[in-house]
Amino acid sequence: MGASPPIRIRIRAIGVEARVTPIALDAKGHLEPPPPDDNNLVGWYRGGVAPGQNGNAVMAGHVDSKRGLSVFYNLGRLRPGAEVEIERKDRTTAVFSIDAVEVHPKDRYPNDKVYGETSRPELRLITCGGRFSKKTGYLSNVVAYAHLTRAKSA
């Protein structure tokens, strides 16, 4: 698939149907989360590849907010084989299959595994998880790993 930004994400297995917005890195080089004012919004790292292109497309969403549960609240419940559909601006849909879901402590986060280069179209979905501390927030991240299985045209 060619380069085309994602505009919607669907994960039927966990009831996700959300808009996608571009996100970037902050001043420290960390992935910025999507804006917190919309509980049903997913961010796509625009500095990487578009979903469906060769390489590792990265998307992030909140698990919750002060207003309640957010888009990736159930990300950790995904099982291998579950499908993730990414609708793209060019009216194609990249369909990914979940390979694994892992929880990584933030102080031992496997950057190379999550963000590293891949030889095929892959997808990483990231949210906060694990134990919560009022002082520091969530202590871990939930990461879903997926690979492209097919493309659909509108």
Residue 1 lies in a domain: no
Instruction: Note the pLDDT of residue 8.
Output: 98
Cβ-contact 84, 98 below 8 angstroms? yes
pLDDT in tens, 35-86: 988 999 999 999 999 999 999 999 999 999 888 999 999 999 999 999 999 9
Q: Residue 56: which CATH number?
A: 2.40.260.10
Residue 140 lies in a domain: yes
pLDDT in tens, 94-115: 999 999 999 999 889 899 999 9
Computed over its alpha carbons, how large is the radius of gyration of the chain? Answer: 14
Number of domains into which the chain is organized:
1
Q: Which residues pair with 137 in a beta bridge?
A: 133
Residue 132 lies in a domain: yes
Q: Which residues pair with 60 in a beta bridge?
A: 43, 126
d(CA 148, CA 57): 11
Which pTM does this prediction carry? Answer: 0.95
Instruction: Note the pLDDT of residue 134.
Output: 86
Instruction: Note the pLDDT of residue 127.
Output: 96
Banded model confidence at residue 144, pLDDT cuts 50, 70, 90: very high
Domain that holds residue 94: 6-153
Contacts 24+ apart (CB under 8 A), 6-9: 6/44, 6/50, 6/51, 6/57, 6/59, 6/86, 6/87, 6/88, 6/89, 6/94, 7/87, 7/88, 7/89, 8/86, 8/87, 9/42, 9/59, 9/84, 9/85, 9/86, 9/87
Sign of the torsion formed by the C-alpha atoms of 17, 23, 27 and 31: positive
